[in-house]
Amino acid sequence: MHVFGQIGWYEEATPDFVVFFVMRNFHDDMTDIAIIGGGLSGTLVAYYMLLADRYAQTIYVFEKEPLQLARGIAYRDSNENHLLNVPAAAMNLYNLPSGDFYQWLQKNTSTNYSPTDFVPRNLFGSYLKELFERQLAKAKQVKVKVIAEEVIDIVKEEDKLSVSTRSGHSYGVAKVVLANGILPPADPFTLSADVLKSGHYQSNPWNFRYLNQIKANQHITLIGSGLTMLDHAVELLNDKGNFSVTAFSRRGFLPLPHDAYEPYDFPEYSIVPGDDIGLLLRNIRAYYKKHKDKGLDWRDLIDRIRNEVPQLWRALSNESKKRFIRHLKPYWEIHRHRAPQRALDVINKAGREGRFKLLKGSIRKTEMKGRQLVIHLGGTQGTSTITTDYLLNSSGLQHDISLTSDPLLKKLLERQYMIPDQTRLGIETDESGALTCNSGRKNIFALGALRRASVFECTAAKEISQQAYLLSEQLIRSETNP
Ligand SMILES: Cc1cc2nc3c(=O)[nH]c(=O)nc-3n(C[C@H](O)[C@H](O)[C@H](O)COP(=O)(O)OP(=O)(O)OC[C@H]3O[C@@H](n4cnc5c(N)ncnc54)[C@H](O)[C@@H]3O)c2cc1C
């Protein structure tokens, strides 16, 4: 391992690949690229650029949380009960042989996993890190420098970009890739000030340090009922002290379970893009009704539609997109983002033991009573009250960029380099991922969650890896044909 400069502030980290601290104040080369974020998205863009290795350039990868390098939030933690929500043999990355991760598992772990097993997520992180390091060692022309710093601003200066970090360093680059990933959910506006500052509320569901603050035998309430909630419920109910958990969401939908299905060959496939969401939904329903008795499993249909979501989404009118978000999105989410049965079994068992409860409703009012929080819920099925020791916001990703408190995104919005999309699902980008902005050249690109407004499905490894590959090709093309 080569380490340049001081890394004292993240001494718990043991990064075993190259971390460069660039001590110069200004580096300037017009082919250089800055990737902001070293999670799955940023690592894969760098990986595909290293793989192509077309011409001499430096790629800076900025990562503010070194433990997340080449892993990101999803694949960093070592909890063996945090499972991939995709079977091992289906966790594929674009342009890599199908089953590559599964083969890696067979070579690198002592467990005899089957292709349909849901394996711990950190194994996928180790695979990704190894993939990246291998390419880093092989590439002859492209160099990657990882900078363990937070980027807080980007300024367009004629045809280059100046990227500034929290410690005051600046880097001049030709292009920037925003791979800064998923944003934590915003606090519900109905939370009272005393709850917010009580020390009994955690707003960022991916800050697992909250577990140090809670004691055995406590009652924990989770906002949300999707995969993020399931992660926390499994953690609390499975391996920690004798916790009891209540989760709630507006509709009270849990993710549906994965199940193996026989692949269908989709004869007379008729689900085509159009601007009307009502018509699209009727087409999907009609196709399923006609084919389910001939062997079509709904999971297979959802997985098939998933591949075409960007085209289907782009074709919808803005009005249809808004109707989908308002009424249909929760149904799509539970069918599309399915959970391993093993995780659902944990909450079902805890439910039977009286340690897990799922309620329908949203927060009307909260208050502190001594050291406990009282949460008043309201919804279509009336009202209910939860008295709890700790409240965790596990309602999933925040997409409305105008609500962000992220310093870099706030700056980009202020400078009008970034425009929130009308649907409030992210920002405006063109088909290549370039930010649609009011000023200057298109030299800032985004991938991953930030692009949800233009492609809708873009938060899973499959979609992210495809975006990363296409973006790397675009970056290489624009350099060879400026
Ligand atoms: C808990 C969880 C489980 C998941 N499980 C699966 C699964 O099983 N299968 C699947 O296909 N998908 C899964 N996903 C979805 C998907 O794979 C991830 O969301 C994906 O890894 C996102 O990667 P990312 O790099 O875009 O974002 P992130 O993982 O959020 O990484 C972004 C990185 O950028 C850094 N960063 C942000 N801002 C700055 C800045 N200004 N300066 C420097 N660094 C910055 C952050 O520290 C972070 O490390 C899961 C997601 C989550 C959250």
Would you kindly state where each structural domain of the chain is located, as residue ranges?
A: 8-183+399-480, 193-256+338-393, 277-336
For the stretch 438-477, pLDDT in tens is 666 789 999 999 999 999 999 899 999 999 999 999 998 8
Distance CA 151, CA 170 (A): 9
pLDDT for 208 beyond 80: no
The pLDDT score that the predictor gives to residue 440 is 67
Q: What are phi and psi of 409, to 5 degrees?
A: -65, -35
- DSSP character at residue 211: G
**What average pLDDT does the chain have?**
90
Distance CA 299, CA 305 (A): 10
Nearest alpha carbon, ligand 1 atom 3:
74
For the stretch 291-342, pLDDT in tens is 999 999 999 999 999 999 999 999 999 999 999 999 999 999 999 999 999 9
Query: Which carries the bigger pLDDT value, residue 418 or residue 238?
Result: 418
Of the listed ranges 16-30, 358-372, 374-388, the least confidently predicted one is: 16-30
CB-ligand 1 contact for 64 (6 Å cutoff): yes
* The domain defined by 193-256+338-393 carries CATH number 3.20.20.30: no
Residue whose structure tokens are 């075993």: 16
From 61, 63, 82, give the residue whose CB has the most ligand 1 atoms within 8 Å, as the site to mutate: 63
CB-ligand 1 contact for 41 (6 Å cutoff): yes
Nearest ligand 1 atom to alpha carbon 165 = 42
The pLDDT score that the predictor gives to residue 268 is 93
Distance CA 354, CA 266 (A): 44
pLDDT for 14 beyond 80: no
Locate 271 and state its tokens: 């689900």
Distance CA 314, CA 173 (A): 31
- DSSP character at residue 375: E
pLDDT for 9 beyond 50: no
Strands in 395-469 per DSSP E: 444-446
Of the listed ranges 11-20, 60-69, 216-225, the least confidently predicted one is: 11-20
Element (DSSP H or E) covering residue 410:
helix 407-414
> Residue 140 — very low, low, confident or very high, per pLDDT cuts 50/70/90?
very high
CA dihedral of 372, 377, 382, 386, whole degrees rounded to 10:
-20
Nearest to 65 by CA among 132, 146, 127: 146
The pLDDT score that the predictor gives to residue 437 is 79
Locate 284 and state its tokens: 């999907």
What CATH number belongs to 8-183+399-480? 3.50.50.60
Q: What are phi and psi of 237, to 5 degrees?
A: -85, -25
CB-ligand 1 contact for 73 (6 Å cutoff): yes
Total-model pTM: 0.90
Q: How many CB atoms lie within 10 A of CB 232?
A: 22
Query: Which carries the bigger pLDDT value, residue 273 or residue 398?
Result: 273
Give distance in angstroms: CA of 74 to centre of ligand 1: 5
Nearest alpha carbon, ligand 1 atom 12:
460
The sheet carrying 444-446 orders its strands as 142-147, 57-62, 33-36, 175-178, 444-446
Distance CA 151, CA 326 (A): 34
Coil/strand/helix, residue 294: helix
CB-ligand 1 contact for 43 (6 Å cutoff): no
